[in-house]
Amino acid sequence: MSIIDTDARNLADQYAALVQGKHNNPFAILGVHRSGKQRLVRTFLPQARQVTLLDRNGEVLCDMQRVHADGIFAAIMPPRMRRYRLRVTDYSDTSGDYEDSYAFAPTLGALDLYLLGEGSDKAIYTKLGANALTLRGITGTRFAVWAPNASRVSVIGDFNDWDGRRHVMRLHPGNGIWEIFIPGVGTGAKYKFELLDLNGVLLPLKSDPFGHYFEPPSGNASIVFESRHQWRDGHWMQNRRVVPDLNRAVSIYEVHLGSWRRNPYDSTRYLTYRELAVELIPYVVEMGFTHIELLPVSEHPFDGSWGYQPIGMFAPTQRFGDPDDFREFVDCCHQSNISVILDWVPAHFPRDEHGLGEFDGTALYEHEDPRKGAHADWGTLIFNFGRREVVNYLIGNALYWVDEFHVDGIRVDAVASMLYLDYSRKEDEWIANEHGGNQNYEAVGFLKRLNTELHAHGAVSFAEESTAWPGVSHPVDAGGLGFTYKWNMGWMNDTLSYLSEESVHRKHHHDKMTFGLVYAFSENFVLPLSHDEVVHGKRSLLERMPGDDWQQFANLRAYFAGMYAHPGKKLLFMGSELAPREEWDHDTALNWELLKSKPHAGIQLLVRDLNALYTRVPALYERDFSADGFEWIRWDDKDSSVLSWIRRDASGGFIICVSNMTPVVRHDYCFGVPRAGTYTEILNTDNACYGGSNICNADVVCEPITHDGRPYRIALTLPPLATLILACAD
């Protein structure tokens, strides 16, 4: 009886476990192992009719012996030979030569495992997930996944007939990471992870948490992808600052890629990333915006979530192309001097069974207790910010977009839901922190670390945070959360509420237009007119405006100009410049036909002119976050519903802004100005080119008469429902 037969009898239980898919460490018996004085090669290939052992050059050594009826083969390894190949012939007599995954040693070194276990690997995506490797001259893909409570983890894919017995992974028990190198697998291969829980129960198949590319639902397989993009934005990247320049102009065009514009010949087909680079970027440049902000592009199964319920956080959605197509889009933005911001969702994730929920049969990425781990409002799960591996996953993801895709900023969604343990919960539905309060200290620590890392990598960060949490955009070392900017949700709510009032009633709500200046310099604010304000029955911006058709357009024009003249960076959701009457619909393209109508085209022209003026006049952006850059002239003229103020730049220059928020023309409206000279309208929203009534002012020479506590006075005709911006020529 041969040594192979004897060995097979001794390994009967392990062979049975292999065949049944229950073996959790095939590396212990497959590949090359010593048996007595000999070395044996074993392989498990259930699809094989015959397996031939080859040397490294492909020369035949011998046919391997079938030692188990269900496809386990073995052969004696020649002395001093270290490498081999397998020629596999299946039952259709198709043959191919293959490298054996079980012939390769672990690919994660001691330092890799230490950093992953510590939760401090900033390039975690290069260790976990599917990453191309060349080992001993053999190309393939290293698959690695964190699943500490699984009893067995396999990679299944179109390269192994989706058979979970074929590529069972090696466990690193110190930190629960499983890995395997599969030679010959490369870009385009589809795969998933098959896991058994601690009790050996088969779990739902899982997509790769670090997958770089996904197939469309309902398949949801991850796809191996190796980037071949050659970046052309070296100068841009060299000039990114570790310390953000808060004195620069920031005018953001917020975009949902699937509904900005559709294919003109097929309205059901999205434009690709590369088509958007050709069409969207020139439009943004023409309109004068400095930044594009994208609603989340990370992979998500449901179109109606707009990307805010991501499954593949490391994958640009396949809806518009592959990851290199998205790299090309960002590259083209930079070559056009446009910064790119991504909306990013670390607050929660969906319950889809192929996602992160109960990934290894336990609450791994989420909290086990639903009082901490579930959002009842959204039907989603909450990341466990107290677990170092989860924090490493999220921070690694943010840095992945910054480093691998060159994005310039991250806008963090739903920050308030992260900061408060009782967010949208009833009294008995949350757990207090160790001091009995509602602050989520773990989330606070995560956000501070996130912002520190983002700034160190040359990126900026934006917080969508709707409460009065102190210091959201203050530096971490000063006790803040460390965001670069915070969305000013209060300004947005107050001003839209004011604008929705009939003009005759606005004097009773005047404080809604002035209150924002009480706290305007407490944070680095962005003024956001975002997608959230034109959906879910809130109506479009135009439809919120009262009055007849003319008054609605005039109100919107006055509002946009007042926004650009107000302290704070600017954000406008796509399509707002078209002034649609309908709410935004993610399933259809913007209605570009509106531009055939003069009032709608006038709004677009105004936004373009506002951006041009904004980026040209430092007083409109240079001291956004300093009280020295703003001064009321008259904030208290509520009976006339007129507001007037001064914006100043760092070198002493200034402009004057006046908003008349009633449809009444006000002749000889006097107010004080700080300097002698001739005052010229540099923007008037009532200009005929914008669709207004064309009540404009010629150059006005100020009078040396004290007014409003200032040494000089000017008198203007204020057009109805209009904002004026004036500059002084000494």
Confidence at 1, pLDDT banded by 50, 70, 90? very low
DSSP string, 500-511: TS-GGGGGGGTH
SS3 call for 255: strand
SS3 call for 497: helix
Confidence at 730, pLDDT banded by 50, 70, 90? confident
Confidence at 2, pLDDT banded by 50, 70, 90? low
35-39, 106-110, 463-467, 640-644 — which is least confidently predicted? 35-39
Q: What is the pLDDT of residues 273-283, one digit of tens each?
A: 999 999 999 99
What is the per-residue pLDDT for 449? 98
Average pLDDT, the chain: 96
CA distance from start to end of the chain: 108
pTM: 0.96
Cis peptide bond prior to 92, omega within 30° of 0:
no
**Greatest pairwise CA separation for the chain in angstroms:** 117
Which residue did the predictor score with more confidence, 210 or 375?
210
Count of residues for the chain?
730
Q: What's the CA gap between 685 and 282, in Å, rounded?
A: 25
Confidence at 3, pLDDT banded by 50, 70, 90? low
Q: What is the pLDDT of residues 66-95, one digit of tens each?
A: 999 999 999 999 988 889 999 999 999 999
What fold, for 244-619? TIM Barrel (3.20.20)
What is the per-residue pLDDT for 82? 87
**Which whole number is the average pLDDT over 365-370?**
95
Domain spans, the chain: 3-98, 110-223, 244-619, 627-729
What is the per-residue pLDDT for 8? 63
- Of 293, 343, 464, 609, the active-site residue reads 464
Q: What is the pLDDT of residues 504-540, one digit of tens each?
A: 999 999 999 999 999 999 999 999 999 999 999 999 9
Residue 113: is its pLDDT beyond 90? Answer: yes
Quote the percentage of the chain above a pLDDT of 90: 94
User: Which residues lie below 8 Å from residue 578, measured CB to CB, with a gap of 6+?
Assistant: 590, 591, 592, 594, 595, 600, 603, 604
CB contact at 8 A, 399 and 123: yes
Domain 3-98 listed as CATH 2.60.40.10: yes
- What percent of the residues of the chain are helix, what percent strand, and what percent coil, each to the nearest 5? 30, 30, 45
Residue 4: is its pLDDT beyond 60? Answer: no
Q: What is the pLDDT of residues 309-355, one digit of tens each?
A: 999 999 999 999 999 999 999 999 999 999 999 999 999 999 999 99
Q: What is the pLDDT of residues 525-579, one digit of tens each?
A: 999 999 999 999 999 999 999 999 999 999 999 999 999 999 999 999 999 999 9
Domain 110-223 listed as CATH 2.60.40.10: yes
Beta strands 630-634 and 666-673: pairing type? unpaired
Tokens of 362: 């336990």
Q: What's the CA gap between 447 and 600, in Å, rounded?
A: 41
Are 244-619 and 627-729 the same fold in CATH?
Answer: no
What fold, for 627-729? Immunoglobulin-like (2.60.40)
Q: How many CB atoms lie within 10 A of CB 136?
A: 12
Q: Could you confirm whether 100 is annotated as catalytic?
A: no
Q: What's the CA gap between 426 and 435, in Å, rounded?
A: 19
User: Which residues lie below 8 Å from residue 365, measured CB to CB, with a gap of 6+?
Assistant: 209, 349, 356, 357, 359, 381, 383, 384, 387, 390, 393
Q: What is the pLDDT of residues 223-244, one digit of tens each?
A: 999 999 999 999 999 998 888 8
Q: What is the pLDDT of residues 193-231, one digit of tens each?
A: 999 999 999 999 999 999 999 999 889 999 999 999 999
Q: What is the pLDDT of residues 244-290, one digit of tens each?
A: 899 999 999 999 999 999 988 888 899 999 999 999 999 999 999 99
Q: What is the pLDDT of residues 399-437, one digit of tens each?
A: 999 999 999 999 999 999 999 999 999 988 999 999 999
Q: Could you confirm whether 413 is annotated as catalytic?
A: yes
Sheet containing 630-634, strands listed edge to edge, beginning at the edge strand earlier in sequence: 630-634, 642-648, 654-660, 722-729, 678-684, 700-701
371-375, 542-546, 672-676 — which is least confidently predicted? 371-375
Which residue is associated with the tokens 């240079």?
622
- Of 254, 413, 453, 686, the active-site residue reads 413
